[in-house]
Amino acid sequence: MPANLTPQYFETEKKLKTAKTPQEKRIILEELLSLVPKHKGTEKLQALLKTKIAKLKSTAQKKPTIAKHALTFHFDKTGAGQIILIGPPNVGKSMLVKSLSNANPEIGDYPFTTRTPYPAMMEYKNIQIQLIDTPPITPEYIEAWHYELLKDADGILFLVDLSGPSPADIIQTLLAKLKEKKIELIAEDQEIPSGFPVYYKKTLIVVNKKDLPSAEENYNVLKKALESKFNPIPVSASSGDGLEYLKERIFSMLHVIRVYSKIPGKKVNLNDPYTLKKGSSVMTMAKTVHKDFSQNLKYARIWSKSKYQGQKVNRNHILEDEDIIELHI
Ligand SMILES: Nc1nc2c(ncn2[C@@H]2O[C@H](COP(=O)(O)OP(=O)(O)OP(=O)(O)O)[C@@H](O)[C@H]2O)c(=O)[nH]1
Ligand SMILES: [Mg+2]
C-alpha cells in the first residue's frame, strides 16, 4: 500500500539532516510522526519514527550533553533599542520579523526553520528599533546563548500561536524555565524590582495567527489564564492585523523619548531625532550630542509640543518626547 506522504512531510524531513542537537532531532521526528497519514501502508514508518524518538529520549535522560564548543551570538545594539523575539517552534516569529521590517528571514511550516539568530531593523515613527529573530525554544531545548541574548536585551517579544494547543501552559512552562536561569520576564508596565542577580526583562506576550479559526476562543482562555499579569497582544503576522498597535507597544516598552537638536539660527531637522531614556535631562542630551556641549554648556532653549516656545532652561530640565533643544555654549 503506498504511504501517500505529503510535500510538507518531505520538507520537514530535509531539516533532519541539518539538526544540530539530539533535542532538535527529536522535535523534528515528532513533527514527522504527526505528519504521517495513519493507515496500514505507513505502519512500518510510524514504528521506525517512534523507535528513533524513544532512543533520543532515553539518551537525553541518561547523559545530559555538555556542549564542548559552546556557540555564542552577540549583536551590537543599533537604533533606539534591541528587542529579542522568542517562542516555541512554528509560531510565526520569522514571519513577524519580516512583516515588521525590510528583512527577509526564512519562513517554513516546520519546526527549526530558523537556525541562528537573525537581526533586522524596524522603522517606527522616525526612529529605528532592532529586532532579533531567534531559533525556537521548548522546555527541553533552550541554548546557553538564548539566555545570554535575553540578558542583554532592552525588551522581549514572547510569541505564541493562538491556533495551537494551550498557549497559556506553554507560556507558563517557558517562563518558569527562564526563571530557573534568573531571567524573569515582566510586563511592560511593571516596576523593575532591584534584585540583582535576577535579570528582569520587559516583555510583550504576542499571540499570533489570530486570522485562524478558534483564535478568538483561545485568546479569551489565554487572557484569563495569564490573569492581569500580562496583557497579550493578538496579531496576524501574515495579514498584518494588529501590527501597528504592536509597534506602538514596542516603542512604549522601550521607555525612550525622541529629542531633536536645533542649531541656533537654523531650521530643525524633524527626521533625525536622538533617542534618550525617558527621564533624561538637558545635560544627558548635551552629552549625547557632543562632549564639548556637556563640558561647556551654559543654557538651552526648548520648544515642546505643549508648553515651551523657545524659553531658556537649565541643564537639569527633564525632557519630553519630541522636544526640540538648542544647546548654547
Ligand atoms: N495563518 C497564519 N499563518 C502564519 C502566521 N504567521 C506565520 N504563519 C505560518 O506559520 C508557519 C511558521 O512560520 P515561521 O515564521 O517560520 O515560524 P517560526 O516561529 O519562525 O518558526 P521556527 O523558526 O521554526 O521557530 C509558516 O507556515 C507561516 O506561513 C499568521 O499570522 N497566520
Ligand atoms: Mg523562524
How many angstroms separate the alpha carbon of residue 306 from the centre of ligand 1? 43
pLDDT at 59: 72
How many angstroms separate the alpha carbon of residue 14 from the centre of ligand 2? 16
Ligand 1 atom 9: residue of nearest CA: 92
Ligand 1 atom 16: residue of nearest CA: 107
How many angstroms separate the alpha carbon of residue 128 from the centre of ligand 2? 22
How many angstroms separate the alpha carbon of residue 115 from the centre of ligand 2? 8
Ligand 1 atom 10: residue of nearest CA: 92
- How far apart are the C-alpha atoms of 276 and 322, rounded to whole Å? 11
The CB density around residue 191, as the number of other CB atoms within 10 Å, is 7
Query: Using a 6 Å cutoff on CB, does residue 93 contact ligand 1?
Result: yes
pLDDT at 66: 47
pLDDT digits (tens, 9 = 90+) for 270-303: 998 999 999 999 999 999 988 888 888 899 999 9
Whose CA is closest to 91, among 117, 116, 109?
109
Query: Using a 6 Å cutoff on CB, does residue 114 contact ligand 1?
Result: yes
Query: Using a 6 Å cutoff on CB, does residue 22 contact ligand 1?
Result: no
Is the domain covering 82-254 a CATH 3.40.50.300 domain? yes
Per-domain boundaries in the chain: 7-62, 82-254, 256-328
116's grid cell: 541562528
Q: Identify the burial level of 295 via C-beta atoms within 10 angstroms of its C-beta, where 0-12 means exposed, 13-18 middle and 19 or more buried.
A: exposed
Ligand 1 atom 8: residue of nearest CA: 92
Q: Which of 16, 35, 90, 104 to mutate to test the pocket of ligand 1 (most atoms within 8 A of CB)?
A: 90
pLDDT averaged per 10 residues in sequence order, the chain, 329 residues: 83 84 84 89 90 82 54 90 96 98 94 93 95 94 94 96 87 95 92 82 96 88 86 96 97 96 91 94 93 86 91 94 94
Q: What is the CATH number that goes with domain 256-328?
A: 3.10.20.30
The ligand minimizing its distance to the Cα of 137 is 1
Across 49-181, where does the E strand assignment appear? Answer: 82-86, 118-124, 127-133, 155-161
pLDDT at 21: 78
pLDDT at 141: 87
pLDDT at 329: 86
pLDDT at 128: 96
Query: Using a 6 Å cutoff on CB, does residue 284 contact ligand 1?
Result: no
Query: Using a 6 Å cutoff on CB, does residue 134 contact ligand 1?
Result: no
Task: Tell me the residue type at 213.
Answer: P
How many angstroms separate the alpha carbon of residue 94 from the centre of ligand 1? 7
Ligand 1 atom 2: residue of nearest CA: 209
Ligand 1 atom 7: residue of nearest CA: 92
Query: Using a 6 Å cutoff on CB, does residue 90 contact ligand 1?
Result: yes
Query: Using a 6 Å cutoff on CB, does residue 99 contact ligand 1?
Result: no
- How far apart are the C-alpha atoms of 43 and 112, rounded to whole Å? 26
Q: Which of 6, 24, 85, 95 to mutate to test the pocket of ligand 1 (most atoms within 8 A of CB)?
A: 95
pLDDT at 64: 47
Full DSSP string of 235-253: --TTT-TTHHHHHHHHHHH
- How far apart are the C-alpha atoms of 269 and 216, rounded to whole Å? 44
